[in-house]
Amino acid sequence: MPELPSLEIFKRYFDSTSLNQRIEEIKLNNPEILLDISSNELKNNLIGAEFISSMRYGKYLFANLKNSMNLILHFGMTGSLKYHSKTLDYSPHSRISILFEKGNVLDFEDPRKFGKIGMTSDINQFIAMKNLGPDALNIAINPFKKLFKNRKGNIKPLLMNQHFIAGIGNLYADEILYQSNIHPLTKAGDLTDDDLKIIYENMQMVLKKAIYFQDNTSKFPPEFLLAHRYPGGKCIEGEKLDILKVGGRTTYYCPKKQIKK
DNA sequence: CGTGGCTCCTGGCGGC
DNA sequence: TGCCGCCAGGAGCCAC
């Protein structure tokens, strides 16, 4: 589920389970998910250390260690966290297991193995190296509007472009545009100042609501697209949602509400 | 630059 | 039941 809202949920889960305990052992079941670091190096940084805090940026979670290193977690399409007792509930898809001294385990699960795990001593440098745009939940309206200066291309791929703005994925891009009455194929250059304001406000609203609903789309009220986003689904006004491919990704929108300019 | 296509990998679902 | 094709919340790379 990993768009910004799930990342925020993961962060809270991590903070409430995994801080301030000595790391005793690392089980690295799939070293191929490591990002620019060897298994031994990762283990050397983690074993004997402890997490003291965490920070989310876009779709990345940084777990801060007392020794001033930071574990980087990227969840791909199917990543998640699971904290459990050492004695039970090992996930078959655990790619890395972090065993704490008191007998509990944090599993990084990821069936499809699109996730990545790494380590950095400098989070800002990592963000700059990845060339990530500003975080979607921590940008003010004027800087947001400025991002659109001289931008071409369609609005939906732009919202999903992590170099442009960090945190929005396929589902929430659809929701934000639906709430804003903007067609996903609208050219960025055709958006008015008012359109950008509306998109900005809906981006904030949608992401916050999604966090509030624990990123569980089945809990979304009917005025949200995500409550009806499946083949044959109808929006709250009874209009059948249309499906398009935009930037290679399946896109749902309401043809009545979201008119192309 | 911007875009479209392909790739990594695995599981779940619908259709035959 | 078994097999097959298609699809999936991400993102990097490459060719045009």
pLDDT band with cut points at 50, 70 and 90 for residue A1: low
pLDDT score of A95: 96
Instruction: From the CA of A118 to the C1' of B12: give the distance in Å.
Output: 30
Q: Report the share of chain A in percent with pLDDT over 90.
A: 93
For A161-202, the pLDDT digits (tens) are: 999 999 999 999 999 999 999 999 999 999 999 999 999 999
The pLDDT of residue A47 is: 98
Which residues, 6+ apart, have CB-to-CB distance to A225 below 8 Å? A174, A175, A178, A179, A235, A241, A252, A253, A254
Q: How far is the CA of A257 from the C1' of B14 (A)?
A: 31
DSSP secondary structure of A130-193: TT---BTTS--HHHHHHHTTT--SBHHHHHH-TTTSBS--HHHHHHHHHHTT--TT-BGGG--H
CA of A72 to C1' of C4 (A): 38
Alpha-helical segments (H) within chain A: 4-17, 39-46, 123-129, 141-147, 155-160, 170-179, 193-212
Give the mean pLDDT of chain A: 95
Contact A131, A58 (CB under 8 A): no
Predicted local confidence at residue A260, as pLDDT: 86
Q: The domain A4-129 is classified under which CATH number: 3.40.50.300, 3.20.190.10, 3.40.50.2300, 3.40.50.2000? A: 3.20.190.10
- Region of residue A154 (left: phi > 0; alpha: psi -120 to 50; beta: else): beta
Domain formed by A141-253, architecture? Orthogonal Bundle (1.10)
Cβ of A189 near strand B (under 7 Å)? The reply is: no
A58 CA – B6 C1', rounded, Å? 25
A238 CB less than 7 Å from any atom of strand C: no
The whole-angstrom separation of Cα A10 and Cα A14 is 6
Tell me the pLDDT band of A140, cut-offs 50, 70 and 90. Answer: very high
pLDDT number for residue A135? 97
**pLDDT in the model for residue A91:** 83
**Which tens digits make up the pLDDT trace of A72-110?**
999 999 999 999 999 887 788 999 999 999 999 999 999
CB A183 within 8 A of CB A177: yes
- pLDDT tens per residue, range A195-230: 999 999 999 999 999 999 999 988 999 999 999 999
Nucleotides of B under 7 A from a protein CB: 1-11
Could you state, in order of their start, the residue ranges of all structural domains in chain A?
4-129, 141-253
pLDDT tier for residue A251 given thresholds of 50, 70 and 90: very high
